[in-house]
Amino acid sequence: NSNRAAIGHLHRQLYGRLYPVLLVNTDGSTVRLRYGEPKRILMLPLDSSTLPEAERKARLRRQFPSKPKAKGEETFEGIDLDTYKKFWKK
């Protein structure tokens, strides 16, 4: 009955209604459908085995960028200390 929800919560796995969602296929075509969760857009994953080799490598490079290279330590050998003499306390 209706008092059951007031005492505790309803034990449901899914939402009680379906929400309008835009589904985007891998070729770029779109379809409106009803989905169980409130989302605006669902995108189907792209099958990388159907892509040309160059585009597949470019996508992998964008997805996993290379690690930044470590910079070398700065040395004070090439710095003229007389130019900074005015900033020292006397």
**48 domain residue, yes or no:** yes
**49 domain residue, yes or no:** yes
**79 domain residue, yes or no:** no
What is the span of the domain harbouring residue 50?
12-65
Helix (H) or strand (E) holding 58: helix 53-63
pLDDT digits (tens, 9 = 90+) for 9-60: 666 665 578 899 999 988 889 999 998 888 999 988 888 888 899 988 998 8
Among 14, 9, 13, 31, residue whose Cα is nearest residue 22:
31
Given a cut of 90, whether residue 71 has pLDDT beyond it is no
pLDDT band at residue 1 using 50, 70 and 90 as cut-offs: low
Q: Over range 59-75, report the average pLDDT.
A: 83
**84 domain residue, yes or no:** no
Structure tokens at 4: 């059951």
Structural domains counted in the chain: 1
**76 domain residue, yes or no:** no
**19 domain residue, yes or no:** yes
